[in-house]
């Protein structure tokens, strides 16, 4: 049994927004893979819940007219992994969310819940950062779109305002066109594991596959929130496809990350991981893009 004061079910986005206004202290629940655990542990005991699980309009992946890939916030991890548009254009996202928990969690957990938790270890987060994702929020004032880097405010905190719910995650065409990526998750186990560190890299190469034209690097558990390696991207985003470039990226990323000591890993170990993962993820992204180091 779960200690819940009341549960309100929304069938449409407008109903969810109205319920959010009427019950501002209520907790939004979608798949429930995180919220129900918190209730069972007592951290949310006696709370009110607003269920948005029945809003089918927030499920699925589609391509908009301008080439933006739109992922509904209630789309489960397993559906993202199998979706043809994801497999064709940003396969790395499907691979990343396929590392979340186990099959049961991936079947019920949603990408909206994963991002709204605001935790740095979310397997979707570093890849969404690396693909310049935009978070779509719907509230009393209408639709608001926020770059994912601005959406994360701090550890466990996101820019979700009064009356709002997250309705979609958008990947602009410029971010996915002619790009390939790779995500590496390091953990103590191969499954059912929270990331010790995660690194997602994607590249766009020149037509002859000899030059890096676009470089994006995202990290999880390398700072209090997921981060982009902006200094490294600027320094190495227009360099030859070579071992020297790969080694340079591996060294440069250490200026972009601020990991900490924890029981999972020391700061020094995480710094080593950040460097090595950047090298390996870059090399694989280049290979997937048709290049060779």
Q: For the domain that residue 9 is a member of, what is the CATH number?
A: 3.30.43.10
For a pLDDT cut of 90, what percent of the chain falls above it?
88
Please give the pLDDT value at position 31.
87
Calpha distance 236→239 (Å, rounded): 6
**Within a domain: residue 146?**
yes
Spatial CA neighbour of 164 closest among 135, 132, 121: 135
Spatial CA neighbour of 216 closest among 188, 184, 179, 245: 179
**Within a domain: residue 152?**
yes
* Domain count across the chain: 3
**Within a domain: residue 107?**
yes
| Band (1; pLDDT cuts 50, 70, 90) | low
Q: Which of 122, 148, 172 is a domain's end point? A: 172
User: Which residue range(s) make up the domain with 141?
Assistant: 56-172
Q: Residues 47, 60: one domain?
A: no
CATH number at residue 98: 3.30.465.10
CATH number at residue 208: 3.30.390.50
Calpha distance 33→28 (Å, rounded): 12
Q: Which residues pair with 16 in a beta bridge?
A: none
Query: What are the tens digits of pLDDT across the range 182-205?
Result: 999 998 887 788 899 999 999 999
Q: Which of 117, 148, 172 is a domain's end point? A: 172
Q: Residues 278, 240: one domain?
A: yes
What dihedral do alpha carbons 259, 262, 263, 269 form, nearest 10°? 30
**Within a domain: residue 293?**
no
Q: Residues 160, 199: one domain?
A: no
Calpha distance 69→179 (Å, rounded): 14
Query: What are the tens digits of pLDDT across the range 131-178?
Result: 999 999 999 999 999 999 999 999 999 999 999 999 999 999 999 999
- Rounded CA Rg of the chain: 19
Query: What are the tens digits of pLDDT across the range 89-127?
Result: 999 999 999 999 889 999 999 999 999 999 999 999 999
């Amino acid at each position: 049994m779960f200690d819940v004061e009341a549960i309100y079910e929304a069938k449409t986005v407008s109903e969810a927004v109205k319920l959010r206004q009427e019950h501002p202290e209520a907790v939004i629940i979608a798949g429930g893979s995180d919220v129900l655990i918190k209730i069972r542990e007592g951290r949310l005991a006696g709370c009110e819940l607003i269920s948005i699980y029945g809003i089918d309009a927030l499920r699925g992946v589609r391509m908009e007219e301008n080439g933006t890939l739109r992922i509904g916030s209630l789309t489960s991890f397993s559906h993202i992994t199998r979706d043809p548009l994801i497999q064709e254009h940003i396969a790395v996202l499907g691979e990343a969310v396929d590392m979340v928990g186990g099959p049961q969690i991936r079947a019920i957990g949603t990408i909206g819940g994963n991002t709204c938790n605001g935790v740095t270890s979310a397997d979707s987060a570093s890849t969404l950062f690396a693909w310049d994702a935009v978070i779509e929020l719907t509230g009393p004032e209408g639709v608001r779109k926020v770059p994912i880097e601005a959406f994360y405010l701090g550890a466990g905190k996101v820019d979700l305002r009064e009356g709002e719910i997250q309705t979609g995650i958008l990947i602009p065409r410029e971010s996915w066109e002619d790009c390939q990526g790779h995500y590496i998750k390091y953990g103590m186990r191969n499954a059912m594991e929270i990331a010790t560190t995660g690194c997602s890299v994607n590249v766009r190469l020149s037509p002859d596959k000899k030059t890096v034209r676009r470089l994006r690097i995202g990290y999880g558990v390398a700072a209090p929130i997921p981060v982009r390696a902006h200094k490294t991207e600027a320094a190495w985003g227009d360099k030859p496809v070579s071992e020297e470039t790969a080694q340079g990226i591996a060294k440069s990323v250490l200026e972009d990350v601020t990991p900490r000591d924890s029981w999972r890993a020391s700061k020094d170990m995480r710094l080593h991981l950040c460097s090595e993962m950047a090298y390996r993820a870059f090399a694989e992204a280049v290979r997937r893009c048709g290049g060779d180091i």
